[in-house]
């Protein structure tokens, strides 16, 4: 653990040299101080957020010796780190908050809307603020049937051009995982599973049935990979997939049956685009009687 912290400290010293002082950015004093002193800060998105879950995730990050930086857009300002007041404001808006990816940032800022950041926009804003590590649940990817719909998440393109290390539980199970891995390879994104084998996880379960391109056994090795990526100035992101523990994983067959049913319902009801993912996740939770939701909180 000590070695990992030393490598991560070196990473933060070498990654980004300046703090964004744009008038559009509001960065909490704690995070400002940590960035200026090259301390460990971890970015968090705000697409799916409640006061309770945000505080729980932030507490876990603090227990590991880092400072959480939940990112959102409020009243035309980018907030790097949310106070209790701003969390409450975001919570009151709830689902009405604009889901904000790269294409939406200028609109949400200029029109002073409330924006909940996706993986893609969180990467952009974290990078701009000088934060090189971002933690999320599962990244977006290639949707099933994308050969007809061309529905591919902007997360994948962003990972190809923004040098942020994204720590996650793999690709969302509702997506086409092998095609997603192919697109990540095309984008030049290093994909690594953190664990004892090279199985790529599937968010709710530790094994998607597909191999991970790379794997490491320790956080120290993961830190070394991130540092090497920045030293080479590759300007591309990295994905570190951390499998859900076996004892907390959902039943694979139950999840797959629920996914198949939910996707069929989405197709019959013409649910597509940005509405598809929340629809599928909600239906999967209903069909599994909450088992998928329980697993997603681990």
Catalytic residue list = 45, 172
Instruction: Indicate the pairing of strand 41-44 with strand 133-135.
Output: parallel
Report the C-alpha gap between 146 and 137 in whole angstroms.
Answer: 22
The region, left, alpha or beta by phi > 0 then psi within -120 to 50, assigned to residue 220 is: alpha
Q: Do the beta carbons of residue 215 and residue 198 sit within 8 Å?
A: yes
Q: Do the beta carbons of residue 296 and residue 204 sit within 8 Å?
A: yes
Instruction: Indicate the pairing of strand 77-80 with strand 98-100.
Output: unpaired
Q: Look at the block and give the residue holding tokens 């959102």.
A: 72
Q: Please name which of 236, 263, 288, 283 lies closest in space to residue 176, comparing C-alpha atoms.
A: 263
Report the C-alpha gap between 68 and 48 in whole angstroms.
Answer: 16
Report the C-alpha gap between 59 and 66 in whole angstroms.
Answer: 10
Q: Do the beta carbons of residue 24 and residue 78 sit within 8 Å?
A: yes
Report which secondary-structure segment, H or E, holds 73: strand 67-74
Report the C-alpha gap between 79 and 76 in whole angstroms.
Answer: 9
Q: Do the beta carbons of residue 213 and residue 225 sit within 8 Å?
A: no
∠ CA(9), CA(80), CA(53), 5° rounding? 95
**H helices present in 26-136, as ranges:** 29-36, 51-63, 84-93, 105-110, 119-129
């Amino acid at each position: 653990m000590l070695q990992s912290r030393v490598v991560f400290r070196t990473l933060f010293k070498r990654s980004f040299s300046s703090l964004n002082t744009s008038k559009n950015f509001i960065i909490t004093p704690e995070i400002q101080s940590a960035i200026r002193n090259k301390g460990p800060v971890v970015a968090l998105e705000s697409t799916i957020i409640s006061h309770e879950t945000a505080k729980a995730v932030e507490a876990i990050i603090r227990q590991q010796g880092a400072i959480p930086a939940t990112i959102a857009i409020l009243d035309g300002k980018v907030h790097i780190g949310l106070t209790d007041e701003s969390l409450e404001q975001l919570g009151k808006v709830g689902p009405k908050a604009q889901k904000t990816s790269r294409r939406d940032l200028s609109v949400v800022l200029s029109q002073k809307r409330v924006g909940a950041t996706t993986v893609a926009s969180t990467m952009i804003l974290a990078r701009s603020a000088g934060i090189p590590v971002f933690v999320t649940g599962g990244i977006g990817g290639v949707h099933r049937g994308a050969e007809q719909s061309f529905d591919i998440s902007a997360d994948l393109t962003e990972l190809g051009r923004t040098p942020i290390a994204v720590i996650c539980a793999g690709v969302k199970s509702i997506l086409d995982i092998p095609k997603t891995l192919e697109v990540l390879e095309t984008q030049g994104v290093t994909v690594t599973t953190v664990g004892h084998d090279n199985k790529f996880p599937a968010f709710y379960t530790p094994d998607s049935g597909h191999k991970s391109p790379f794997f490491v056994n320790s956080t120290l090795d993961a830190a070394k990979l991130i540092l090497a990526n920045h030293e080479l100035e590759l300007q591309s992101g990295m994905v570190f997939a951390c499998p859900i523990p076996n004892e907390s994983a959902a039943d694979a067959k139950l999840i797959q049956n629920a996914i198949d049913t939910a996707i069929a319902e989405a197709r019959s009801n013409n649910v597509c685009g940005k509405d598809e993912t929340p629809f599928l996740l909600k239906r999967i939770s209903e069909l599994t009687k909450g088992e998928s939701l329980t697993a997603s909180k681990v």
